[in-house]
Amino acid sequence: TDRYCVFGNPISHSKSPLIHTAFAAQTGEALEYTAIEAPLEDFAGAWQRFVAQGGCGANVTVPFKEEAFRLCDTLSQRARRAGAVNTLLLGKNGLTYGDTTDGVGLVRDLKHHGVVLEGARILVLGAGGAVRGVLEPLLATRPKSVFIANRTAAKAAALAADFADLGVIQGGGFDAVVGPFDLVVNGTSASLSGELPPLPDALFAPGASAYDMMYGAEPTVFLRWAEARGARVIDGLGMLVEQAAESFFLWRNKRPETGQVRAALRRELE
């Protein structure tokens, strides 16, 4: 049986084994998918050991995406842009190929929810690894404009400059945010601590959507704030399932149907 896993630290709460096991059952692929806690100081060693034990590929999550990027022999264009890898694939030649499917996952989930991206005015909150990882696929949908707002304004400006060849994109501090926007994506880790970036009240255009890359049993502070201001709110559960489906496709060349897994995960959360 072909072996796959997700590496993280911590990893015990990962939904990836459940998702990929469901994808395998649905597509009739014989594979085993487990969660492995890699040591913080030796991610490369964990991957090598897994390969030695018959591993064919892996997902990579916090805090190893940048380290995974560094160990790859070859990289997809979007992974090179992201500077991070969430999908490892062992080639027949024994070389490690790295890709990142987070951005495709976000875009697929937005489309799944009927959010129109082409021509949209998009605000992205945060300028860390999570945001860098999704910018290329987001810009590929041809939005009207993207503004990156971050607590550390210089980081947002630098990030925007890195992607300026792909579309109309600018960055700055939260005080530089001028709405209205058709879509606001929260990619900060502020939700984790229940905090909300300082944002103007008049942020959303009529019919606008608010998306949080995080998810949980309860809506995040950001989504509650957005809902109170009239936005349609979507959490990051679908992004998790869609990025997984894209990784599965890279490994097995089969595209799983994501609806059932979405529904199962949602039920499990409640």
Binding residues for NADP(+) are 126-130, 150-155, 213, 236
Q: Is 65 a catalytic residue?
A: yes
- 65, 92, 111, 144: which is the annotated catalytic residue? 65
Q: Can you give the chain as a three-state secondary structure string?
A: CEEEEEEECCCCCCCHHHHHHHHHHHHCCCEEEEEEECCCCCHHHHHHHHHHCCEEEEEECCCCHHHHHHHCCEECHHHHHHCCCCEEEECCCCCEEEECCHHHHHHHHHHHCCCCCCCCEEEEECCCHHHHCCHHHHHHCCCCEEEEECCCHHHHHHHHHHCHHHCCEEEECHHHCCCCEEEEEECCCHHHHCCCCCCCCCCEEEEEEEEECCCCCCCCHHHHHHHHCCCEEECCHHHHHHHHHHHHHHHHCCCCCCHHHHHHHHHHHC
Q: Report the relative pairing of strands 87-90 and 96-99 from DSSP bridges.
A: antiparallel
- Shortest reach from residue 213's CB to ligand ATR, in Å: 8
Q: Which is closer to ligand ATR, CB of 128 or CB of 180? A: 128
Using the minimum distance from each CB to ligand ATR, give the nearer residue, 22 or 185. 185
CB 104 within 8 A of CB 249: no
CA 11/CA 7 separation, integer angstroms: 7
Q: Where does this chain bind ligand ATR (CB under 6 A)?
A: 126-131, 150-152, 155, 188-190, 193, 195, 197
| Residue placing its CB nearer to ligand ATR in the complex, 129 or 256 | 129
Q: Closest approach of Cβ 199 to ligand ATR, in Å?
A: 10
CB 175 within 8 A of CB 200: no
Which of 67, 3, 6 has the alpha carbon at shortest distance from 40? 67
Cβ distance to ligand ATR smaller for residue 57 or 129: 129
As measured in angstroms, the least distance from the Cβ of 157 to ligand ATR is 11
Question: Which residues carry a binding-site annotation for shikimate?
Answer: 14-16, 61, 86, 102, 215, 243
Q: Least CB distance from residue 98 to ligand ATR, whole Å?
A: 17
Query: Residue 150 or residue 258: which is nearer to ligand ATR going by CB?
Result: 150
Residue nearest to ligand ATR (CB): 128
- Beta-strand pair 87-90/121-125: unpaired
For the bound state, the minimum distance from the C-beta of residue 17 to ligand ATR, rounded and expressed in Å, comes to: 22
Which residues carry a binding-site annotation? 14-16, 61, 86, 102, 126-130, 150-155, 213, 215, 236, 243
Residues tagged active-site:
65
